[in-house]
Amino acid sequence: MATVRTLPVGADFILTHHAKSYDYISPSKLDLTGQHVLITGAAHEDGVGYATATAFARAGASRIACCDLHGISDDIITKLKSAATLANRDEPLVLGYEVDISSQESVKAMYNSIAEEFSGRLDILVNNAAHMEPYKPFLESDPDIYWRTWEVNIRGLFNMARAFLPMQLSSYSKSRSSCIMMNVSSSGALSVHPGSGSYRSSKLAVLRWT
């Protein structure tokens, strides 16, 4: 029987993987007072988007908008406000939106609302929302579901950047504050696993696009 040799991939280059934060990078050490932030894919308390929004709240961001395909619950909004006050920050304005980032029309509707609520200012955009197709052999996969991953992970990122980057650049030209766009990829971009080719290739594309 032939021996299958596993080649090292990008995810193997890091010897120690960390799953917990530490005090040196605590958001409480930052002061983002006056900053306006938008995070996509922030509906779930166990997700990266919610954790990111919580960190911005603890760092003192004054206005935080969160969106998700499934909307943002009142409970999430309340917890983000509490995260700020528990960190001895002023309570921020927190907005929640139900948005399909793969749809230009859906993104445009959110843009119009945020432009009004944020007085035309956006300092930081975190493109976190993503989709992963079910694990299946390629020939058993549904083409529409397979391609949906790219529609969200790549076209969605494109739609968000096209809509909000002009607002960010305009904000920076006026205030000389932050002008940051963070595109969240995944360790899946640097590893291989049968049955998830669409997700992993799309996340690699995020790295190359960024």
Would you please indicate which residues are annotated as catalytic (active-site) residues?
199, 203
CA dist., res. 70 & res. 137, Å (int): 28
CA dist., res. 205 & res. 165, Å (int): 19
Residues 6 or more apart whose CB falls under 8 angstroms from that of 160 comprise 40, 101, 107, 125, 127
Characterise 131 by phi-psi region: left (phi > 0), alpha (psi -120 to 50), beta (else): beta
Q: Which pairs from 11-19 meet CB under 8 Å and 24+ separation?
A: 11/187, 11/190, 11/191, 12/191
